[in-house]
Structure 1
């Protein structure tokens, strides 16, 4: 499990870090599928039922894998740059196509969109704008 965790960490850092690019993400998704298969076949060295920290680490790694895969699929799906999601191959924000919520569906490993409710409730909605620092 230690080697699998390291492979997962390196894959995410190299392919899905702050600045992203489509080809690298496609390559990273293929790597994640291989890592996920390795994780399915992983075995614990420590099989004790008490104070088994390796079991806890494996449970954490299962959750990290699911989170990493959802992040990767979502990042690859969204073909724009917005906020902390920055893509070299799509450097601009695209409100016409992407002013929406991206939803990852783990059962089918697919993505869908949900519109953003811009209707004011108690006060006027904030208009979308580009973040500047």
Structure 2
């Protein structure tokens, strides 16, 4: 019945009425689990998959099978699990060469590159801007 609804008939109309359309979609989608929707949509030819939290993503059987998680050592010796490259090249295998920076680890370096002086950076820290 949504196809015949003028509020949803065109892309501009759907954009204008997005909140109402989202409410209707939400009302319908709560009737089944994510697993049921993914199975039905895939069966209908709509490629889709679940939306995961990070910990759920690493537990997905396909992620495990494809080796999409890689371990990288941190400076303090603990291993960090990261998402690997989304594709595999036979002649150029990828690997995680370095860990991502810790929160705030490169703040001074980046601010310095933008021309902030040591004193200005210290003042920003003092005022809890960074």
TM-score (norm 2): 0.22
Q: Which has the larger radius of gyration?
A: 2
- With a CA cutoff of 8 Å and minimum separation of 6, indicate the structure with the bigger relative contact order: 1
